[in-house]
Amino acid sequence: MQQVREAATVMLLRQGAKGIEVLMMRRNLNLEFVGGAYVFPGGKVDKADRDPEVLKRSLNLGDLECSQMLGVSSGGAGYFVAAIRECFEEAGIFIGTRSGGTAPTEAELSQAREDLLAKRSDFVGVLKKEDLYLDLSQLVYMAHWITPQSQPKRYDTRFFVARAPSGQLGTHDDSETVSHVWIDPNEALSKAKVEGFSIVLPTRQNLKAISSYETVDEALLGALRSKKSVVVPKLVRGPAGLELILPWEDGYDEAEIAELEPGESMENP
């Protein structure tokens, strides 16, 4: 049976001059999965994301509350932790505080991030050394997507929205991510149509979901109230070739799932 990996991603928002802006990272072209695409910070949920020592350094929400939000029996906090960890690794932005309640700056944590990326330290080691605590309550659960069947890699991904910590601008890691941009969601969607600004389907749909909001507060409230039913696109073979259809689109229930031919790929629909 094909493994479906747990994953988490976070849409970091800030107030721009003309409306909300979201942080997007461009993945390295050499990566096997959606190389070159613009994505939100995120990745797989690691076993260490549920380490009791990490959970001791997680504020305001416990595993029970997180699990209830996500509709799972247990382990829900791991998704929240993974989203914050991946955001720190990929974008250099930390969602949390020190023990006294003060927020660290990017500069103060730059060496810790380098040590983490170089595997000279693990995440719980960084938290302890830098006296850091994750603020899980800053993440608002927004959406749940599962990669279609027939894809070579499948992910069970929870999407979160969060206000970007004050004064933290972010930077790509020059390895997994090669550039980054704060961008209006509508501009990102427009660039994807005409400028080769590659965005995969779940990213596009979640950009659309926040594109009508004018303020970060409105976007966070909208995410809180959003319908959380799981979205599993179907990969089908249509007149123009392979395509993805969504549960709310005509023909979804009757559509037969396409099996990929040898050498055929649809990594970046």
pLDDT tens digits for range 51-84: 999 999 999 999 999 999 999 999 999 999 999 9
The reported pLDDT for the residue numbered 48 is 95
More confident residue, 72 or 263: 72
| Distance, CA of 70 to CA of 220 (rounded, Å) | 16
Q: pLDDT-derived band of residue 35, with 50, 70 and 90 as boundaries? A: low
213-230 residue pLDDT tens: 999 999 999 999 998 899
- pTM equals 0.92
pLDDT tens, residue by residue, 184-243: 999 999 998 887 788 989 999 999 999 999 999 999 999 999 988 999 998 888 777 788
Look at residue 269 in the predicted model and tell me its pLDDT: 38
The alpha carbon of 158 is separated from its chain's Cα centroid by a whole number of angstroms, namely 7
Residue 174 in this model has a pLDDT that exceeds 90: no
Q: Cα(92)–Cα(41) distance, rounded to whole angstroms? A: 10
**What does the buried/exposed string (b/e) look like for 130-149 if buried means 16 or more CB atoms within 10 Å of the residue's CB?**
bebbbbbebbbbbbbbbbbe
From the list 143, 162, 28, 179, the residue with the least C-alpha distance to 83 is 162
Q: Which domains does the chain have, with CATH numbers?
A: 4-230 (3.90.79.10)
How much is the pLDDT for 113?
A: 94
* pLDDT score of 31: 65
* Cβ atoms 148, 268 nearer than 8 A: no
**Helix (H) / strand (E) containing 225:** helix 216-225
DSSP state of 23: E
